[in-house]
């Protein structure tokens, strides 16, 4: 039984009399602890796939199984969906999406504050994650006082604070230069090693995708090709 199983996933956008098919019967599986890159040209459906997995967009057809259960209803029906996403998924975006009026450490802590976690635990978990991303010394800085790479590392700490089962990232290195891209990828590799973190991310950069265990290549809304790069995740 796989950790994440996408079955026959389709999405059509209706635009008045016209429609755009963004995903066509997409099928794939992700194993626990796997680091998977989704690649493909602009307009191929990558963001739509991420948005559906994140509950931000509704699919037209198909099923998403997560930890063995059909979670279609959990992804889209409030109020369960908010809690499900908060507890099970972490998100990272190309544009970091940090709050600019509060410090780095408050950005990291915010999801726990909103969830009503006890102060002592918030302080401890925030410190642990700031150390993990190598920015504990900068915890009092505001996002504008940090470089792009540092902002993304803060966003990663925030995304991990709930210990999500699945980390979803949409072009996480899209705004970064090659050095900071490498820092972010090293963090991904480290979280996979340290926490067994399962990661699914979109990129259009082949050198970034090459760091994943597996690459899924999407074109015109369909999976065109898959490459498995690391032997430990060979099919059983
Ligand atoms: P990618 O992330 O690979 O660039 P997208 O998932 O953003 O691709 O888009 C896939 C296709 O769906 C494109 O043709 C795009 O124009 C279309 N599309 C995406 N979002 C919407 C939307 N909200 N309304 C209408 N069409 C959309
Ligand atoms: P990205 O791939 O970085 O998410 P896009 O430009 O593909 O950026 O999409 C930005 C936003 O616009 C997304 O929320 C997407 O759903 C929406 N979008 C993309 N294409 C269309 C479209 N043709 N019509 C309406 N909305 C769109």
Mean pLDDT of the chain: 91
- Is the Cβ atom of 203 under 6 angstroms away from ligand 1? no
Q: How far is the CA of 218 from the centre of ligand 2 (A)?
A: 16
**Length of the chain, please?**
236
ipTM of the complex: 0.68
Q: Is the CB of 44 under 6 A from ligand 1?
A: yes
Distance CA 220, CA 23 (A): 7
Give the pLDDT confidence score for residue 236 in this predicted structure: 45
Residue pLDDT, tens place only, 82-126: 778 778 889 998 889 999 999 999 999 999 998 899 999 999 999
47 CB under 6 A from ligand 1?
yes
C-alpha 87/C-alpha 161 separation (Å) is 10
CA distance 192 to 53: 20
| Ligand 1 atom closest to the CA of 170, numbered from 1 | 2
Ligand 1 atom showing the smallest separation from residue 49 Cα: 6
CA 114 to each of CA 59, 111, 178: distance values in angstroms, whole numbers, following the listed order: 28, 5, 34
DSSP, res 236: -
Which distant-in-sequence residues (6+ apart) come within 8 Å of 15 by Cβ? Answer: none
Instruction: Please give the distance, rounded to the nearest whole angstrom, from the Cα atom of residue 78 to the centre of ligand 2.
Output: 24
- pLDDT lower than 50: segments of the chain: 236
- From atom 9 of ligand 2, which residue's Cα is the shortest distance away? 47
CA of 121 to the centre of ligand 2 (A): 38
β-strand pairing of 4-15 with 18-30: antiparallel
Q: What is the DSSP letter of 165?
A: S
For residues 138 and 11, give the distance between their C-alpha atoms in angstroms, rounded to a whole number: 42
Asked whether the beta carbons of 30 and 216 are under 8 A apart, the reply is no
CA angle 31, 216, 157 (to 5 degrees): 60
CA gap 183, 174 in Å, rounded: 13
Residue nearest to atom 1 of ligand 1 (CA): 43
Which atom of ligand 1 lies at the shortest distance from residue 47's CA? 2
């Amino acid at each position: 039984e796989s950790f994440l199983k996408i079955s026959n996933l389709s999405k059509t956008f209706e635009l008045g009399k016209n429609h755009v098919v963004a995903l066509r019967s997409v099928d794939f599986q992700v194993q626990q602890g796997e680091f998977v890159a989704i690649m493909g040209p602009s307009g191929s459906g990558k963001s739509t796939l991420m948005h559906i997995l994140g509950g931000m967009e509704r699919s037209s057809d198909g099923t998403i199984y997560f930890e063995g259960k059909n979670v279609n209803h959990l992804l889209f029906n409030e109020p369960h969906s908010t809690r499900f996403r908060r507890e099970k998924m972490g998100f990272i975006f190309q544009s970091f999406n940090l709050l600019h009026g509060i410090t780095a450490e408050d950005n990291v802590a915010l999801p726990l504050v909103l969830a009503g976690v006890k102060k002592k635990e918030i302080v401890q978990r925030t410190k642990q994650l700031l150390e993990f991303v190598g920015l504990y010394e900068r915890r009092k800085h505001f996002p504008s006082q940090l470089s792009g790479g540092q902002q993304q590392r803060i966003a990663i700490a925030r995304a991990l604070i709930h210990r999500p089962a699945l980390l979803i990232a949409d072009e996480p290195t899209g705004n970064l230069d090659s050095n900071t891209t490498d820092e972010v990828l090293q963090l991904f590799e480290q979280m996979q090693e340290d926490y067994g973190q399962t990661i699914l991310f979109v990129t259009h950069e082949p050198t970034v995708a090459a760091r994943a265990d597996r690459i899924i290549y999407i074109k015109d809304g369909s999976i065109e090709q898959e490459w498995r790069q690391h032997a430990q995740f060979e099919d059983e």
